[in-house]
Chain A
Amino acid sequence: MEHPFITARDVDVFYGDKQALFGIDLDIQAKEVTALIGPSGCGKSTFLRAINRMNDLIPICRMTGQLEIGGQDIHAPAVDVVALRAQVGMVFQKPNPFPKSIFENVAYGLRIHKMTSNKTELADRVEWSLKSAGLWDEVADRLDEPGNGLSGGQQQRLCIARTIAVQPKVILMDEPCSALDPIATAVIEELIDGLRKDYTIVIVTHSMQQAARISQKTAFFHLGKLIEVGDTETVFTNPTQEQTQNYITGRIG
């Protein structure tokens, strides 16, 4: 077993008095896709948002326990949250391009993080990102058109291009295909499979077929607890926990 890239130890998350996560211990391997599944309210999105400290934006939300990425405690005083979020990018359920051109959507992060030194380098980086997100061929001749004029699937790939432009180590995805049709979904799934060569990907999905198709590891959450984590093939063919079996087979548990 390789050393995990992300480790969660005894992670509790509270929204005010309400506890949303209970003692989560989870290891996430580098350059694999880990799917988080479970019914609504099970805490999977809360856990996902804990990985890049997005929960910090919710005033009543607090976390205890330890979360490390690449051996670094993400709550250590020296950690710059903005830099952390560049290292741990996020793609949301609904494509959310900025009200800017296609080019500027991808260039935005590069500019604010001052990651390129001249216009040529910036343009090269934007092109590389759009190519990596499988969007370049569809937008190369209209980079100055608004990003939100693209189709839903293209917008989501634009958001992925924007995320990978700043060369994160981890990409978090919160139901990235739930607003897309099956063909656009297939394109994104194929893209995710290609991206895992270079990135550690954690994806929350309500589609168990999607989790089964694209992930190497699957973690099942229920009522704020991690019930089971394992190789995706095992979880979807012969899970060890009855609660997991009940959930994935659509039984009343």
Chain B
Amino acid sequence: MSNEHIVAGFDQDLAKIKAQVLSMGEAVNQQIQKATEALANFDAEAVDLLITTDRRINGMHKDIHSRAESLIARRQPMALDLRQALAPVNIAGELERIGDHAKSTAKRSRKLVDGPSGVAAMDIIAEMSTLTQSMLRQVLSAYDNVDIDLAAEIRDRDQKVDKLNKALFKLALDAIATAPDKAEAFIHTILLARTFERVGDHVVNIARHVHQIATGEDLKASE
């Protein structure tokens, strides 16, 4: 939409909220990165800091929600404008859930001070983390530029995350069968992979919101 609003205030208010969402997204991405680092090299202080940061992220979510609510109440946007005004609420909600997953990953690292069981498992977890972080950065860019092609690409990339989750599940099951004494650690590993799989799903949900802003329609599932 190249045409400008007659009332510039709407664009200015929306730009501020969008900047907050992008900043929240960046903070959440750092949380995933730090939580993954804590898995590889347990650091009690870093985990405590991460939990504190999650509260700040929850505060950002509430602030975005209340600003979007105020924008809608005051400007009464319609059509594309309404979708743009609602998107921050939905996207910040997804980011808040990703933040929670980062927190739960960090908390689980307390139970896995030696890292997830087995080098192969840790490699898969690390790959899932790297992939979801990359997808999250991409989806924030897609939101910033209302890029629906990039949104579709992110949806497709999530299939790789799902495959890694399944691969880890199989690996952990086999490991439990051969070394039942390590079952607890491997179950934690399964749950970690599940967490990153959920992060991927939230990122795809954000991609769907981006598609919805631009088109007013749902983004179809991958072929």
A252 at the interface (CB under 8 A from B): yes
Q: Within 8 Å CB of B10, what residues of A?
A: 250
Q: What bracket does the count of chain B residues touching chain A fall in?
A: 10 to 19
Check A250–B79 contact: CB distance below 8 A: no
Q: Within 8 Å CB of B6, what residues of A?
A: 250-252
Q: Within 8 Å CB of A245, what residues of B?
A: 1, 79-80
Q: Within 8 Å CB of A61, what residues of B?
A: none
Interface string of B184-223 (1 = CB under 8 A from A): 0000000000000000000000000000000011000000
B7 at the interface (CB under 8 A from A): yes
A236 at the interface (CB under 8 A from B): yes
Check B79–A253 contact: CB distance below 8 A: no
Taking chain B's interface residues, is the majority helix, strand, or loop, or is none over half, making it mixed? Answer: loop
| Bound-complex Cα distance A208 to B77 (A) | 10
Q: What bracket does the count of chain A residues touching chain B fall in?
A: 10 to 19
Q: In the complex, which residue of chain B has the Cβ closest to the Cβ of A252?
A: B3
Q: Within 8 Å CB of A238, what residues of B?
A: 79, 216-217
| Bound-complex Cα distance A38 to B3 (A) | 18
B149 at the interface (CB under 8 A from A): no
Q: Within 8 Å CB of A117, what residues of B?
A: none
| Bound-complex Cα distance A209 to B79 (A) | 12
Given contacts A237-B216, A238-B216, contact A248 B78 (CB under 8 A): yes
A11 at the interface (CB under 8 A from B): no
User: How many interface contacts (CB-CB < 8 Å) are there between A and B?
Assistant: 39
Interface string of B1-40 (1 = CB under 8 A from A): 1011111001000000000000000000000000000000
Check B79–A251 contact: CB distance below 8 A: no
A239 at the interface (CB under 8 A from B): yes
Check A251–B78 contact: CB distance below 8 A: no
Candidates A212, A252, A253; contact of B78 at CB < 8 Å: A212
Check B3–A253 contact: CB distance below 8 A: yes
A120 at the interface (CB under 8 A from B): no
**Residues of chain A from 51 to 103 with CB closer than 8 A to chain B in the complex:** none
Interface string of A224-253 (1 = CB under 8 A from B): 000000000000111100000110111111
Check B76–A239 contact: CB distance below 8 A: no
Check B76–A251 contact: CB distance below 8 A: no
Measured CB to CB, the closest approach of chain B to A23, in angstroms, equals 26
Given contacts A237-B216, A238-B216, contact A249 B4 (CB under 8 A): no
Interface centre among A238, A246, A249, A253 (most CB of B within 10 A): A249
| Bound-complex Cα distance A106 to B6 (A) | 44
**Residues of chain B from 46 to 90 with CB closer than 8 A to chain A in the complex:** 76-82
Q: Within 8 Å CB of B4, what residues of A?
A: 251-252
* 16 A-B contact pairs sorted by A residue (CB < 8 Å): A237-B79, A237-B82, A237-B216, A238-B217, A245-B79, A249-B77, A249-B79, A249-B81, A250-B6, A250-B7, A251-B1, A251-B3, A251-B5, A251-B6, A252-B6, A253-B3
Name B's A-contacting residues (CB within 8 A).
1, 3-7, 10, 76-82, 216-217
Name A's B-contacting residues (CB within 8 A).
208-209, 212, 236-239, 245-246, 248-253
